[in-house]
Chains A and B, each alone.
Chain A
Amino acid sequence: MISSTNSANKNQIIRIISGAKRICKIRNRMTNESQLKYALRILISDIFKISLGTFIVYFLLEQMKGGFISNYLNLNFLLIFCIISGIITAALHKEREQEEKRELKLRDYLVIFFLTIITAIVVFFEIRDLGWISYFISFGAAVIIILISDALLRE
């Protein structure tokens, strides 16, 4: 009974400390730069990440079925938007100090998992006419994605 109460308290303390750490981190970032600049940097960064994600998803859908997206929407405009927001994001992040390297979390593993599945499916759909070899190539592409994602997320 006493041990379970202690462990609950321990967990609560850990949560409070991690929350405080997060607030300190934000506060430290903001003290180094003005609120407006901070907001702008985060906003542009979000726009870049979301537009890149959108482009990748739309592009994959277009590859799976030609015309699915491009019949109604010009993907080149989205790509240009993505590149511009990426350049601005990179420029705004240049001045910031390097963030500490981190360990992979559950979210990262989920991202890797879904990217791998999507890649394998898309590659398979594109080369399924080749026959049995398409299974091996799709599997190979999935392994490559796992390795690259792991390396990039650990950076």
Chain B
Amino acid sequence: MSKVWLEKILKMVRVILIIIPVVILVFLVSKDFAWSGRLEVRYNFCKDSPFILPLFPKGRALDIKKDKNDCFQPVAIDPVYFYLQMPRWFEGATVHIKYKNPGFPIIELGAQKRHNEWDYDLKPLENRLIDSLSWTKIQKENVVLLQKNKRFDTISNFLNYLPKGKKVVFYNYELPSYFYRFLRVEQLNIYTNLEDADYIIATYASPKEQGEYQESQAFFQLKDYYVENNKLRFMLSVPSLDESGKELRLKEIRVILEKEPLTFENFISRLRGFLGRILYH
């Protein structure tokens, strides 16, 4: 090979070597800024995650167990907490939890609403009281209506023509105030007696079965919660966990963070906001 050619090849290799870290940097910047408007983060208990911090307090959340490629964390006492550390501000977070439920009736996930207060907005992950009923079921989007004796064909029919005097149990559903005037109303919890109930109305979707595990999700509009330095505290609640002597196995926590994607239209305003935060933070 001629010497001039060798020099040319070395020059090309040098250019490629310079391009590689530049491309990696652009990739990292795009990921951190979430230009696409979406960032997915996960904690699988095998490896620490910079975004989803370990469960606490210790003693309630037991030591992580690692069997071959299968890692999980048993939870023995309720509730347990974890932090979501976002790289920057997002508008919404969909939290997916993969777990093994040995038979707890209700599993819920909540996000902290106010600073220094034990105030969590709980959302259902699994409700076996609802799932186990063989009542007539009508589902529209995430709202489900269960009827002991079928009378209504749609949920809007039920809301428009209330069955006066009947007992309606609600769960994760905001009832209109007039319900309380015409119906016997009760909020569903693990102690609710469903034998004398006629209807159940809930905002709830059953978990998906994935082998021996279940996967469920809950959505949180982040402006409604207490987020400090892009950090949000979550609580996992499993009523009756303490007395049962059993444990809930957590297999994976996956969070899909979303915000408005970067476009030509909002580029200038976003850049201005970013520079403002850097200068005045």
Contacts and interface: CB of A to CB of B under 8 A. Distances in A.
A binds B: yes
Given A46-B17, A50-B21, A54-B21, A73 B28 contact: yes
Given A68-B28, A73-B24, A43 B13 contact: yes
Nearest to A73: B28
Given A35-B1, A42-B10, A70-B50, A47 B25 contact: no
A84 interface: no
Main secondary structure of the interface of A (DSSP, over half): helix
A91 interface: no
Interface in B1-39: 1, 3, 6-7, 9-10, 13-14, 17-18, 21, 24-25, 28, 31-32
A47 B17 contact: yes
A71 interface: yes
B79 interface: no
A35 B6 contact: yes
B228 to A, nearest CB: 15
Given A54-B21, A70-B50, A39 B87 contact: no
A26 interface: yes
Given A43-B10, A50-B21, A67 B87 contact: yes
Nearest to A125: B278
Contacts, number: 47
Contacts of A72: 28, 31-32
Interface string B198-235: 00000000000000000000000000000000000000
Contacts of A30: 3
A71 B31 CA distance: 10
A103 to B, nearest CB: 24
A30 B7 CA distance: 11
B83 interface: no
B3 A58 contact: no
5 contacts: A39-B10, A67-B50, A68-B28, A70-B50, A73-B24
Given A35-B3, A57-B25, 4 more contacts: A35-B1, A58-B25, A68-B32, A71-B51
